[in-house]
Amino acid sequence: MNILVTGGAGFIGSNYCRLVLNRRPGDCVVVFDALTYAGNLSTIEDLERNERFRFREGRIEDPGAVRRVLKEHRIEAIVNFAAETHNDRSLLAAGDFLRTNVIGVHVLLDCAREAGVNRFVQVSTDEVYGSIEEGEFTEESPLQPNTPYSASKAAGDLQCRAHFVAYGVPVIVTRGGNTYGAFQYPEKLISFFTTRLMDGKKVPVYGEGNQVREWIHVEDHCSGIDVVLRNGRPGEIYNIGDRNERRNMEIVDVLLDELDKPRELVKHIPDPRKGAHDKRYSMNADKIRALGWEPAVPFDEGLRATIRWYEENEQWWRAICAEPEYQAFAQAFYGPGLGDDL
């Protein structure tokens, strides 16, 4: 099968390409990526040598470019990872989120319909459900997104539903939990804090750090997407979660411990997300388990392996942290103090 992996130069997308190339000898992978701040050629450098891999630069909201790549590579399935994904960035400015996560998904769906692809998997997030204090979300739960980011993802999911109902595009939506692992851009809780702590810099915990997230290792998230691509039913939604609920401070404690850093490096700051800070995410993933999927990476093991990966791949993240784009956001969001002494 020829698979177009949009957003394949980003965190989860690149890990997905690795999984397909390793486990599916009959498949070819074409990455289509806009190389925005979060997509980097250094993230897919190891894949370039594989003869079943190709890279094309382009934006999913550009119909001409999408049509060309679909035709040129005789694409049979699309897995869409292309997205703006950081809540904090969406709170500063949401235009890019709407362009990519809503218009981009719409364009991609239109082109998929025209080209007659056999499968379209839209990689979404549990954040579209909003926050849940007790219990867990199922695929039937209402969409109550609380940030411009999660609202844009919810709008993308609804485009998928509409294109399935109106035109029969064989779309399947996955909603994954908070994902961690190798190659995550250093802006999310685990990747940001790990890289800062390695440099002996303070880490900004929003409020008390009592929010709860459900964590899943990137390899498990990707194996779930792959199972859905091959065995899922068009028109359906599948949650991908591993029931690893942790308070933010529990994660911070492990990072300090593993990196052997003092507690003084933790700085609680007034919550910049304010009312938009979801308290807890939790999902029921029985539906995807019924397809035969099971997560394989225990959380504590996966977290330790991830920390080691950042220790062993300093070159990768240091190059990113040195980019003006990385510095500009950090300063705009956390203030000029982010530099070294929060």
Residues that bind ligand TYD (CB under 6 A): 87, 127, 178, 188-189, 192, 204-206, 209, 211, 213, 248
Instruction: State the nearest-atom distance from the C-beta of 110 to ligand TYD, in Å.
Output: 28
Residue 138 beta carbon to ligand TYD: minimum distance, rounded to whole angstroms = 20
Selecting among 37, 129, 149, 310, the annotated active-site residue is 149
Q: Which of 33, 61, 88, 127 is the catalytic position?
A: 127
* Cβ proximity to ligand TYD, 1 vs 269, nearer residue: 269
Consecutive H or E run containing 53: strand 53-57
Nearest Cα neighbor of 81 from 7, 141, 148, 182 is 7
Helices (H) and strands (E) in the chain, counts: 13, 12
Q: Nearer to ligand TYD by C-beta: 87 or 152?
A: 87
d(CA 185, CA 120): 25
CA-to-CA separations, 337 to 195, 311, 318, 322, 340, in angstroms, rounded: 17, 25, 19, 16, 7
Give the nearest distance from C-beta 219 to ligand TYD in angstroms.
18
Cα dist. 79→122, 185, 244, 336 in Å? 6, 20, 25, 38
Q: Specify the DSSP class assigned to residue 328.
A: H
Residue closer to ligand TYD (CB basis): 6 or 87: 87
In the residue annotation, 281 being an active-site residue is answered as: no
Nearer to ligand TYD, 10 or 204 (CB): 204
Q: Nearest approach, Cβ of 279 to ligand TYD (angstroms)?
A: 8
Catalytic residue at 96? no
Q: Any idea how long the chain is? A: 342
Question: Is 37 one of the catalytic residues?
Answer: no
- Distance (Å, rounded) from C-alpha 14 to C-alpha 331? 28
Do 237 and 173 meet the contact criterion of CB atoms below 8 Å apart?
A: yes
* Nearest distance from C-beta of residue 81 to ligand TYD, angstroms: 15
CB of 84 to ligand TYD, least distance (A): 12
Nearer to ligand TYD, 81 or 206 (CB): 206
Nearer to ligand TYD, 29 or 265 (CB): 265
For 168-319, strand residue ranges (E) read 171-176, 178-180, 203-206, 212-217, 237-240, 244-247, 266-269
From CA 118, how far away is CA 111, in angstroms rounded? 12
Question: Which residues are catalytic, by number?
Answer: 126-127, 149
